[in-house]
Amino acid sequence: MDVRQQRVEFVVAASRKEKSFSRLCEEFEISRPTGYLWRKRYGSAGLEGIAEQSRRPHKSPSKTAESVEQQVVALWRRYPDWGARKLAVRLVEQAGPQLPASTVHRILRRHKLVEQREQRSGECKRFERTHPNELWQMDFKGPRGWNQQVGPLSILDDHSRYLIGLQALGSTQAEPVREQLEQVFQRCGVPEGMLMDHGIPWWGPRSALGLTALSVWLMRQGIHLHWSGVRHPQTQGKVERFHGTLLRALSKRRLDQQRTQQWLDEYRWEYNHVRPHEALGMRTPAKLWTPSERKYDPNPASWEYPPGAVLRKVDADGKLQVDGQQWHFSRALSREWVQIVSLEQRVLVYYCNSVIRELDLNANKSVLVKRWIR
């Protein structure tokens, strides 16, 4: 379970007091002090309180002295084209203090002497799901190197890199995307989760929650939806990497404009069954992928919330009444049932198996959970 989701489930279970606090901490594999801390933080600040806190110390007794910082700044003004490593060596040669290059770099950043374009971000932490169909990544390829305004829709399995779908739709309209997903679900089964960016048609910039008819339809299938960071394509690194591979293939091979989809189908088969993948130990994706055992239901029944759950129905305008107060959610949830979990003066709102919003009844404000559970 994701650690942030774990904290939400823990404070919900702790508020119900159905089990002893010690036993609850054992089940969640945390210490009692940690459990008390989570409960205290949630009581004072809600979901924002149990989000990951900054580990920066309140006091820094070993902070670099101001006189030393001025030495570094003066040295940089003498050699403005030098990097931190060279400046650190030169500082010692001039009988100055011996500083790590990282400290010199931080001093330059504090004094805004290093431009943003010169800063190098750390290496992205790689992740990979344990089993096939735990997570699918979905995105449209950009128009570069393509013969339409938008590139094909790509659906990739996170674990095996198996290319589930590759379809030239020609637009980002919701209905063609849904039709393509239905075909994919019927052929390959339904995944546990899907990862997308903040783009149309699965994300609505004008919606209070970002939900669209397509994303609600996916949630009704029991699919956990995950969103990449804003302007952070690294989150969808595998499908972005595939788009780079596809672009090189398009530049090296002749694409017949009259048989675009046939070319994509042949390339998808080659990518899955013929082309060895370095990240897979030179195996092909087809050797690691198997269809999902979760079958697609074109007409899913109403979501079964836990027995005894408190349910509310969103009205036709996408609004919800809770304790006499009206909250605007999303028209995509019009006439849908949601579950509310009351925790003192706060309310967690679930749609299907996802918590989508937290309401603070005292402060009359709400938190969009998508900004916290990323």
Q: What percent of the chain has pLDDT over 90?
A: 25
For helices 101-110 and 66-78, give the axis angle rounded to 10 degrees: 90
What confidence tier does 189 reach under pLDDT thresholds 50, 70, 90?
A: very high
374 vs 100 pLDDT, higher one:
100
Identify the H or E element spanning 224: strand 224-227
Q: What is the pLDDT of residues 101-117, one digit of tens each?
A: 889 998 998 888 876 54
Residues 13 and 349: their CA atoms lie apart, in Å, by 15
Summarised one tens digit per residue, pLDDT across range 212-239 is 889 999 999 989 888 887 666 667 788 9
Does position 284 have pLDDT exceeding 80, yes or no?
yes
pLDDT tens digits for 121-139? Answer: 444 555 778 899 999 999 9
Four-way CATH pick for 136-287: 3.30.420.10, 1.10.10.10, 3.40.228.10, 3.40.50.920: 3.30.420.10
Tell me the mean pLDDT in the region 64-70: 88
Give pTM, 2 decimals: 0.66
Q: How far apart are CA 294 and CA 185, in angstroms?
A: 9
pLDDT at res. 84:
85
Span 240-259, pLDDT tens digits = 889 988 888 888 777 777 78
Q: Per DSSP, what are the bridge partners of residue 140? A: 153
> What pLDDT was estimated at residue 232?
62
Structure confidence at residue 345 as a pLDDT band (50, 70, 90): confident
**pLDDT mean over 189-199:** 91
Cα(172)–Cα(178) distance, rounded to whole angstroms?
10
